[in-house]
Structure 1
Amino acid sequence: MLKIDMHTHILPSEMPNWTNKFGYGDFVWLNQSQNNPGSVDMMKGGQFFRTVEENCWNPEVRIEEYKEFNTQVQVVCTVPVMFSYWSKPQDCLELSRFLNDHIAELQDRYPKNYVGLGTIPMQDTELAIQEMRRLKEELKMPGIQIGSNINDMNLSDPQFFPIFEEAERLGLAIMIHPWEMMGFSSMEKYWLPWLVGMPAETSRAMCSLIFGGVLERLPNLRVLLSHAGGSFIPTIGRIEHGFNCRPDLVAIDNKRNPREYLGNFWTDCITHDIDLLKYILKVQGSEKVCLGTDYPFPLGDLEIGKFIEDSDLPKEDVENIFCNSILSWLDLDKERFL
C-alpha cells in the first residue's frame, strides 16, 4: 500500500541571516549549533529559538527514516514560523521565493519521494497571487500552506478573498496551519499555546471561512485543516448550536448551517487517539482524512500512522487515509509514485 505523509516540515540547510539582510525584524535564520554538533539552531532575530536535527533539512536522512515505517512519499512545506507575514511585503516575497525554490528543487530531484507546498506573502494580495502563479506554472507545485490568521486578521477578511479565488482558479490545494496563536503571551506556561492555542486557531480559521462565506462562494476550493481540524470538528455541535440560537450574530454573511460543510474539506489524521479519529472518519468520511505527521517535530505522529495500522479500521479506510485522500486533495495521479 502506498503511504504518503501529507504534513511534514522542512528547511534549507543554509539560509541568509534575514534580519541582517533586511535590516530589521525577528526573522528566523539558521546558525550552526554550538552545543549540539550536527544540529542547527534556529535564531529569531538575535535570539535562540529552537534547535533542529539533521532530519529537518537533509532529504536523504528523511527518506531513510521514512523507510522504517514503509512510507515512500513526503509532502513538504516550510516551518510556519518562517511565514513572516508581519514583514514588509517585498521582503516576505523574497523569503518565500527562497523557501519555495528550495522545496521545488527537492521535488524535482526526488520525484518519487517529495511533493512540495509553497508559502506566499499573504499580507499583500497582489504579491501573494503573483507567487501562487509562479508556484503553479513554473515550480509545478500542487498547493500552498498558509497560516490560521494573517497578522491577527481572520481568513474571512475581504482582502484575502482574491487569493482564495485565484487558488481555486489555479487548482492549488490549501493547507491551513495554526500559527501566532491567540492569547500566546498569557498562557506560555505548560506549553499551552501548542496544546490549547493551536487547536483553537484551526477552528478559528475554519469558522471564519464558513461564516465569512468563502467556502460557499468557492465550492471547488480544496482546503485541508492540519492537526485533524483542531477543535473545529470536536466542537461542531456547539458551533452549530450557536449558529441556530444566535443567527443575528453568527449567520450574518452565510445562512448555511456549518455542519453541512463536514466532508467538504480535508483534514490530516493527527489525533494521537484512535477513538477521536474514528469520530472524525464518521463525520468526514475516510475520503477526506489524510495521513499526516507534523514530522520531524516531537508533537507530531513520529511513528507515521502506526496507531492506524494497529487499529481495527477497515482496510478501505486505511487505504484512503494513507494514499487516496491525499491524491484527491492535491489532484495528483497515483502512477506518479509507482
Structure 2
Amino acid sequence: MAELFKCTPALRSESGTSGSTPLRSDGTVVDIHCHVLCQQTEQLVQQLGVSGEAGTMRFASEASRQAAQAQRQAIHSQLTNVETRLADMDRAGIDLQVLSPAPNQYYYGTDPDVGRQLAARVNQTVAEMSQHPSGRFLGLGTVPLQHPKLAVEVLRHAVKELGLRGVEIGTHVAGKDLDTLALEAFFAEAQSLGALVFLHPAGFSEGQRLGQYFLNNIIGNPLESTVAVSRLVFSGLFERMPDLKMCVAHGGGYLAAYPGRMDHAWKVRHECHACLKHPPSQSLKKLYFDTLVYSPNQLAHLLQEYGPERLLLGSDYPYDMGDPAARMHIEALPNLTVSDRQAILGGNALRLLEVFKNEF
C-alpha cells in the first residue's frame, strides 16, 4: 500500500507571508466540512434567472431572512478569499481544509444544459482553490443529481480530470428521495472511483412548522439528514455497495441517538427488512460522520456509537452555525488514545480521501 501523505503545510508567519514549517508532532489536522462560494456561478444564475435560495430559507421567517442576508455579507471574504481562509485556519489549528460548495449551489431544479454549466463552474472554482500553492486544500465538487446519467459523467470528470476527491450532495433532489433506483448508477460510480460522497442538507424539505426561530436549520438540517440516510439504509444501498464512502454532515443528524428503534423495526416489520438482509445499525456503521455536534457529551456518544475510525473533524466553516473550536472539542475528549485522537483530527480523512505521499 502506498504511504499516506504527511503534509508540511505552508503556514502563515507573523509577518503575514506564507512559509513552509515542519509538521507538528501531533499529526495533520483536516477539516472535512468547509464551504466555498463560486462567484462566477452566482453571476450566471442571475443571468439565467435560476433560483439559488438555500432550502433553509424556503420556510424562513422575515427575521431569519434578514439575518441570513447580513451573514452572507459578513462571511463573503471567508467564502471566496484564500488569504482570509488561510489566516482563519491558522487561528483554528487546521492544516488542511476539504472544500465543498455552499449548499445553495446545488441547483437541482435546472434542466440538463444549465445543470451541467453550473456544476462545471462550481467544480472548476473548487479545483482551482485546491491547487493553491500553500498545498492546504482538497476539494469536493457537485453534480446535477436531477439528471442521473449526467451526474455520473460530471462525477467522473470531477475526479479524473479535475482531481477532486468526491462530491457534496443534498439530502433530496428537488423533492425526490435519494433511494430512487435512478440514482443507483451514480452511487455505483462513486464507489468505483473511490470518491467520497459528502451528504449535506439544506433545511427540512417539509418545514412548514419550522419557519420561526431558525428551526428549519436548528432542527431541520439534522432531521433532513436522518430521513435521507434512513431511506438509504432501509433500501439496502450500503449492503449492495459496501465500499461506498459516505460522510454525513452535522454528526449524522439524529441517527446516533436512536439506532435501536431501527433495528427493532427491522426485526418485527416485514416492510423494514424487505430490502435489507442485516439490521440497519450494521449499515449505519459503514458511514462516516463529521464531529459538528457542539456538545462534548454528544460527541462522546457519537464516538461510543460508531468508534473513532468513523469520525472526521468538521467545523462548517465559515457559517455562524459552524464551530471554530471543533479541534479543541476533539482534543478534550477523555479516555481517547493518542492514535485515536490523531485519527479523528485528520488521519481518517487522509485515508478516506486517499491522500498519498507521492501526489505531493
Q: Same fold (TM over 0.5)?
A: yes
Q: What secondary structure sits across from 2:33 in the alignment? A: strand
Aligned partners of 2:357, 2:301: CA distance in 1, in Å?
27
In the other structure, the counterpart of 2:9 is: none
- Alignment of 1:11 onto 2:32: no
- Alignment of 1:300 onto 2:326: no
Aligned partners of 1:310, 1:285: CA distance in 2, in Å?
16
In the other structure, the counterpart of 1:26 is: 51
> Residue 302 and residue 147 in structure 1: after superposition, are their counterparts in 2 closer, same or farther (change >3 A)?
same
- The alpha carbon displacement at 1:71 in A equals 1.2
In the other structure, the counterpart of 2:98 is: 75
Q: 1:160 aligns with which of 183, 187, 202?
A: 183
Q: What secondary structure sits across from 1:183 in the alignment? A: coil
Aligned partners of 1:94, 1:328: CA distance in 2, in Å?
31
Q: Which piece of structure 1 moves more, 305-314 or 218-227?
A: 305-314
- The alpha carbon displacement at 1:179 in A equals 2.0
State TM-score, norm by structure 1: 0.88
Aligned partners of 1:334, 1:276: CA distance in 2, in Å?
34
Aligned partners of 2:84, 2:273: CA distance in 1, in Å?
49
What is the aligned residue count?
321
Q: Which piece of structure 1 moves more, 311-320 or 157-166?
A: 311-320
Aligned partners of 1:49, 1:326: CA distance in 2, in Å?
29
In the other structure, the counterpart of 1:32 is: none
- Alignment of 1:232 onto 2:272: no
In the other structure, the counterpart of 1:241 is: 264
- Deviation readout 1:250-292 (Å, 9 max, x if unpaired): 2222232101124311111111111221121122111110001
Aligned partners of 1:244, 1:135: CA distance in 2, in Å?
41
Structure 2: runs of 5+ lacking an equivalent:
1-26, 55-64
Q: What secondary structure sits across from 1:210 in the alignment? A: helix
Aligned partners of 1:131, 1:9: CA distance in 2, in Å?
20
Aligned partners of 1:77, 1:241: CA distance in 2, in Å?
36
- Alignment of 1:137 onto 2:174: no
Aligned partners of 2:251, 2:52: CA distance in 1, in Å?
29
> Residue 150 and residue 14 in structure 1: after superposition, are their counterparts in 2 closer, same or farther (change >3 A)?
closer
Structure 1: runs of 5+ lacking an equivalent:
30-40
| 1:57-96 paired onto structure 2 within 5 Å | 57-96=80-119
Q: Which amino acid aligns with 2:319?
A: F
Asked whether the equivalents of residues 184 and 197 of structure 1 are also in contact (C-alpha less than 8 Å), the reply is: yes
Q: Which piece of structure 1 moves more, 99-108 or 237-246?
A: 237-246
Q: Which amino acid aligns with 2:341?
A: V
Q: Which amino acid aligns with 1:308?
A: I
Q: Which amino acid aligns with 1:17?
A: Q
Asked whether the equivalents of residues 19 and 25 of structure 1 are also in contact (C-alpha less than 8 Å), the reply is: yes
In the other structure, the counterpart of 2:302 is: 280
Q: 2:130 aligns with which of 98, 101, 107?
A: 107
Q: Which amino acid aligns with 1:9?
A: H
Kindly report the root-mean-square deviation, in angstroms, between the aligned alpha carbons of the 2 structures: 2.3
Aligned partners of 1:54, 1:259: CA distance in 2, in Å?
41
State TM-score, norm by structure 2: 0.83
